[in-house]
A and B are shown apart, each in its own frame.
Chain A
Amino acid sequence: MPYLGSEDVVKELKKALCNPHIQADRLRYRNVIQRVIRYMTQGLDMSGVFMEMVKASATVDIVQKKLVYLYMCTYAPLKPDLALLAINTLCKDCSDPNPMVRGLALRSMCSLRMPGVQEYIQQPILNGLRDKASYVRRVAVLGCAKMHNLHGDSEVDGALVNELYSLLRDQDPIVVVNCLRSLEEILKQEGGVVINKPIAHHLLNRMSKLDQWGQAEVLNFLLRYQPRSEEELFDILNLLDSFLKSSSPGVVMGATKLFLILAKMFPHVQTDVLVRVKGPLLAACSSESRELCFVALCHVRQILHSLPGHFSSHYKKFFCSYSEPHYIKLQKVEVLCELVNDENVQQVLEELRGYCTDVSADFAQAAIFAIGGIARTYTDQCVQILTELLGLRQEHITTVVVQTFRDLVWLCPQCTEAVCQALPGCEENIQDSEGKQALIWLLGVHGERIPNAPYVLEDFVENVKSETFPAVKMELLTALLRLFLSRPAECQDMLGRLLYYCIERPVNSWASDFNTLVPVYGKAHWATISKCQGAERCDPELPKTSSFAASGPLIPEENKERVQELPDSGALMLVPNRQLTADYFEKTWLSLKVAHQQVLPWRGEFHPDTLQMALQVVNIQTIAMSRAGSRPWKAYLSAQDDTGCLFLTELLLEPGNSEMQISVKQNEARTETLNSFISVLETVIGTIEEIKS
């Protein structure tokens, strides 16, 4: 990307590079070239002096050569036509008597990354593979992989591959490792380099000659080799034994992996290996390099999954230090949580408790969750610590403790009592969604053991309008209904209020239905109608039963659903019917016999309007009804199903009697539909009764 002012700089440098006086003075010449490189690394476009730089590569000064080659590799992809000019010099350098120059030229040529360079580099690479200097061979071997990549197709040059395989026997260890790397790239499509028995044994014997990078990689390649016999397997393991104690963590990890995979049929060997790398792993866990420490801790956790207690006696190594970075502390807390046992539980919990009050909220919360994890085994101690933490009245602590409690009472019901005792008061210190949900859940499920549970929930109901998290509202609805079942007297009123709030719809929920039939029928009603379309057509001129959804403040959401579901579940399908006249009703009532009679429990007062409304929801019409409070109280109801069968009902409340007597008459004697009708009626009356009490 051209930089502002780079043109002048390029012009000036170009002039300097062409200046024969400068060219004659080696130091000055090199200085100019260094300036070019410096601008290049700073992002200035220096491709303008490409020609001059190519000329500068023809020098005996190897430092200058290297700088120029670096320049070429950077700009070759941008200026492929100009880079071709450099090829000549590079090819010439590839046959320089100095091995450093040969290697450098070959290496640069392979890094040009421009189309068409393959044909030029092929011969120098092949020559390089047979060079007597190991440095050139190292470069040439890697060059094979680069050449293959440049070709872009998956065609594999068989002769080249064979040559590379034979170079695995090279005396220079780096050539050997580079061969492996190169073959791996070239044979990527075929699954990489093949490690057969002779190659595996050869590599094993060369292991000690390699540097740590080579060792780590060879260990990785050896994973592909499957020893033929048990004897061979153990020979290999013996040979590699010392690498488990290498000073390079990369080699230790690589060797461990190889051991674990080779010994997959011998669990005792695997365990033994893990015991033996315990020392190096622990050392890596307290390594000065935080990153290596982090990696080691991640692996320790993995080992602990299979061998719980493996590091138990070294638990102190996993105590956090004040200045450690966050990611290490979090890993250590996880490790502590997993290695806890009878002997160290006291100390580990003591330490974790210290972390719970750390300034970093995240770390403190991680520690609390860890204690929660330990609580699955050592419940009493942990619950006690967690309860004490609630006493701190810190928001970020309380919320996590309550969440931990919620998870804990599932797994360890024996701690429910202690948890219930700890809960009162924590609602004052919880603001976030997760914490509120956990608290509300606990209050709902175990509310019968928490004296003030309804009152805590009442506060939530009071503030439900300003509650921002929908999940909390959902949890509140469920919890309150649960608690209502165990403590109805204290919950009825607020459940009603909550339901009222829930039923009251915002504009958006009905805007799409506006100016359609839906508001005319009522949403619930419309749903029924659209289901039974075809069964019976409704006369649009008929007066409509009033909609339930628009009013009906006292019908609980749950029951409403239940009532609506009935038409689906039973065979009975009540339809909104032409209003029967009182005369017709009376005539029919008198002409029929009572088909069914039963009593339902009924206490105290109620609003007849409520009942009427509830009955309308299920398409039962009220023909006549006594005034509220009158004794005896009577009501006459009628309903019709989709087959035209009429159900006529009398409800009777005798004075001083706590029962409601129901009598049902039917114009066609069909017991299944009669039973369904009665159950609908029972449901409605039962619901009214529940709300009332």
Chain B
Amino acid sequence: MSASAVFILDVKGKPLISRNYKGDVAMSKIEHFMPLLVQREEEGALAPLLSHGQVHFLWIKHSNLYLVATTSKNANASLVYSFLYKTIETTDSKILQEYITQQSNKLETGKSRVPPTVTNAVSWRSEGIKYKKNEVFIDVIESVNLLVNANGSVLLSEIVGTIKLKVFLSGMPELRLGLNDRVLFELTGRSKNKSVELEDVKFHQCVRLSRFDNDRTISFIPPDGDFELMSYRLSTQVKPLIWIESVIEKFSHSRVEIMVKAKGQFKKQSVANGVEISVPVPSDADSPRFKTSVGSAKYVPERNVVIWSIKSFPGGKEYLMRAHFGLPSVEKEEVEGRPPIGVKFEIPYFTVSGIQVRYMKIIEKSGYQALPWVRYITQSGDYQLRTS
């Protein structure tokens, strides 16, 4: 047992809910947490682990709540943090709010029967689920993380893929998912086909890991509804999907001139939707003027950025945006950082890695027919291009 107690605190450090597991750390110790946090923050030495005497606080922040675990032991830190995140995952903030609300609150009344999952062999799925129409929706989503230096060299480029399932199936179905996994293809001697080498694959607990290790079969009994079946990573270098070239010229005391060129470096048939390019501007800039070859530009003063939005951006195209800002003649004292240019986009029907769902087999005792639906999306993750 790593944590002695777990607290949920509001933004001022007042405990909202707490649970004392072991009773070996006094619950009043939590009063030291907030002052310590504030003190460390002022010193610029904030870290996810704070200590007060014998007591260690391992904490995370979720929107405006602090989740704090106290321990007096030399605990496994990764485990405690995972647990705190799991707490957020399982107790969605909406559910938590129901308990904390100041006004009347309602508790679901339907669950007074013993949840069968407590004693079930398959803890993530209860028996007796029924649907009129049996369907599975498979979303293959790939996020592109990119970091480009001010001089245009790519520092980091990686793809984080997830396969999400939305399951509307009756009974206890047995599912098998087939991917164009390179290791599998090599095992079965189909190495000529187009395949993808997946790294760092992680599965939902429902997947039988032993089978995957033996013959790369992904077989499982799914939970009901939404869940993330697996995630993977690809660190092979790919051409940045949307390439940005920017010139930001700052003439002190008078104006800033910005020129941004965006180029779609993906297949001509594909289209990137909802492209948003946010370009940093000085916080004291005023009187914006824009000129764009496509889409619209908007100044967002509270974030100190210009957001250039392009609804649909076909592959191979190149667009231009110019912006002009005035600067006050009296320069402000404090130095500003150099935030990067950020890009958001979504390209449907396309995966950077080329991963494909080859089949999804659904077997249930009652032998019903079920339909799998597959959707592919590539989207921007942490997509940043530094400015000089």
* A interacts with B: yes
Residue of A nearest to B280 (CB): A322
The smallest beta-carbon distance between A377 and chain B, in angstroms, is 22
Which of the 9-residue segments A259-267, A285-293, A450-458 touches chain B? Answer: A285-293
Is B318's CB within 8 Å of the partner chain A? no
- The digit string for B363-374, where 1 denotes a CB below 8 A from any CB of A, is 000000000000
Chain B, range 51-86, C-beta contacts under 8 Å to A = 58-60, 76-85
Q: Which B residues are CB-close (under 8 A) to A30?
A: 107
A216-B76, A283-B200, A292-B81 known; A322 vs B23 contact (CB < 8 Å):
no
Which of the 9-residue segments B181-189, B331-339, B344-352 touches chain A? Answer: B331-339
Cβ–Cβ contact A220 & B76, under 8 A:
yes
Contact of A322 (CB < 8 Å), options: B17, B83, B114, B337: B337
Is B329's CB within 8 Å of the partner chain A? no
Which of the 9-residue segments B40-48, B244-252, B354-362 touches chain A? Answer: B40-48
Is A133's CB within 8 Å of the partner chain B? yes
Chain A, range 357-416, C-beta contacts under 8 Å to B = 358-360, 362
Contact of B114 (CB < 8 Å), options: A99, A286, A296: A99
Known: A38-B105, A212-B205. 11 other contacts (CB 8 A): A63-B107, A100-B118, A149-B23, A213-B83, A249-B81, A249-B82, A250-B82, A286-B158, A292-B85, A359-B336, A360-B44
* A61, A280, A317, A321: residue with the most chain B Cβ atoms closer than 10 Å: A321
Q: Which A residues are CB-close (under 8 A) to B155?
A: 316, 319, 351
The smallest beta-carbon distance between A652 and chain B, in angstroms, is 68
Please list the 4 inter-chain residue pairs (A to B) with the smallest Cβ-Cβ separation, ordered nearest first: A250-B79, A247-B202, A359-B337, A291-B48
Cβ–Cβ contact B76 & A291, under 8 A:
no
Is A604's CB within 8 Å of the partner chain B? no
18 residue pairs A–B, Cβ–Cβ below 8 Å: A34-B105, A149-B23, A247-B202, A249-B82, A250-B76, A279-B199, A279-B200, A289-B81, A290-B48, A291-B58, A291-B84, A292-B82, A321-B384, A322-B340, A322-B384, A326-B46, A327-B45, A362-B44
A242 CA to B210 CA, complexed, in Å: 9
A326 CA to B158 CA, complexed, in Å: 23
The smallest beta-carbon distance between A36 and chain B, in angstroms, is 13
Is A204's CB within 8 Å of the partner chain B? no
The smallest beta-carbon distance between A123 and chain B, in angstroms, is 22
Q: Which A residues are CB-close (under 8 A) to B76?
A: 216, 220, 250, 253-254
A410 CA to B17 CA, complexed, in Å: 55
Cβ–Cβ contact A321 & B44, under 8 A:
no
The smallest beta-carbon distance between B256 and chain A, in angstroms, is 18
Is B90's CB within 8 Å of the partner chain A? no
- The digit string for A35-75, where 1 denotes a CB below 8 A from any CB of B, is 00010010000000000000000000111000000000000
Is A655's CB within 8 Å of the partner chain B? no
Q: Which B residues are CB-close (under 8 A) to A290?
A: 48, 60
Cβ–Cβ contact B213 & A242, under 8 A:
yes
Cβ–Cβ contact A317 & B156, under 8 A:
yes
Chain B, range 18-57, C-beta contacts under 8 Å to A = 23, 44-48
Is B324's CB within 8 Å of the partner chain A? no
A211-B205, A316-B156 known; A295 vs B44 contact (CB < 8 Å):
no
The smallest beta-carbon distance between A424 and chain B, in angstroms, is 25
* B44, B99, B158, B340: residue with the most chain A Cβ atoms closer than 10 Å: B44
Chain A, range 586-639, C-beta contacts under 8 Å to B = none
A135 CA to B119 CA, complexed, in Å: 7
Is B109's CB within 8 Å of the partner chain A? yes
Chain B, range 99-131, C-beta contacts under 8 Å to A = 99-100, 105, 107, 109, 111-112, 114, 118-119
Residue of B nearest to A41 (CB): B17
Contact of A327 (CB < 8 Å), options: B47, B100, B209, B382: B47
A252 CA to B59 CA, complexed, in Å: 21
Cβ–Cβ contact A212 & B209, under 8 A:
no
Is B319's CB within 8 Å of the partner chain A? no
The smallest beta-carbon distance between A27 and chain B, in angstroms, is 7
Cβ–Cβ contact B23 & A113, under 8 A:
yes
Q: Which A residues are CB-close (under 8 A) to B46?
A: 325-327
The smallest beta-carbon distance between A25 and chain B, in angstroms, is 13
Is B233's CB within 8 Å of the partner chain A? yes
The smallest beta-carbon distance between B107 and chain A, in angstroms, is 7
Q: Which B residues are CB-close (under 8 A) to A325?
A: 46
Residue of B nearest to A26 (CB): B109
A321 CA to B384 CA, complexed, in Å: 8
Cβ–Cβ contact A322 & B105, under 8 A:
no
A279 CA to B80 CA, complexed, in Å: 21
Q: Which A residues are CB-close (under 8 A) to B382?
A: 321
Chain A, range 202-233, C-beta contacts under 8 Å to B = 208, 211-213, 216-217, 220
- The digit string for B207-241, where 1 denotes a CB below 8 A from any CB of A, is 00110010000000000000000000100000000
The smallest beta-carbon distance between A118 and chain B, in angstroms, is 14
A319 CA to B148 CA, complexed, in Å: 11
A253-B76, A292-B81 known; A242 vs B44 contact (CB < 8 Å):
no
- The digit string for A135-150, where 1 denotes a CB below 8 A from any CB of B, is 1000000000010010
A99 CA to B47 CA, complexed, in Å: 43
Q: Which A residues are CB-close (under 8 A) to B59?
A: 291
A181 CA to B1 CA, complexed, in Å: 7
Cβ–Cβ contact A250 & B78, under 8 A:
yes
Q: Which A residues are CB-close (under 8 A) to B336?
A: 359
Is A667's CB within 8 Å of the partner chain B? no
Is B203's CB within 8 Å of the partner chain A? yes
Q: Which A residues are CB-close (under 8 A) to B47?
A: 294, 327
Is A88's CB within 8 Å of the partner chain B? no
Cβ–Cβ contact A321 & B337, under 8 A:
no
- The digit string for A272-315, where 1 denotes a CB below 8 A from any CB of B, is 00000001100110100111101110000000000000000000
A253-B78, A290-B48, A295-B81 known; A319 vs B147 contact (CB < 8 Å):
yes
Is A248's CB within 8 Å of the partner chain B? yes
A542 CA to B366 CA, complexed, in Å: 124
The smallest beta-carbon distance between A131 and chain B, in angstroms, is 12
Cβ–Cβ contact B81 & A291, under 8 A:
yes
Residue of A nearest to B335 (CB): A359
Is B96's CB within 8 Å of the partner chain A? no
The smallest beta-carbon distance between B246 and chain A, in angstroms, is 15
The smallest beta-carbon distance between A95 and chain B, in angstroms, is 17
Q: Which B residues are CB-close (under 8 A) to A62?
A: 112, 114
A221 CA to B261 CA, complexed, in Å: 58
A316 CA to B205 CA, complexed, in Å: 31
The smallest beta-carbon distance between B61 and chain A, in angstroms, is 9
Q: Which B residues are CB-close (under 8 A) to A279?
A: 199-200
Is A89's CB within 8 Å of the partner chain B? no
Cβ–Cβ contact B48 & A294, under 8 A:
yes
Residue of B nearest to A295 (CB): B77
The smallest beta-carbon distance between B59 and chain A, in angstroms, is 8
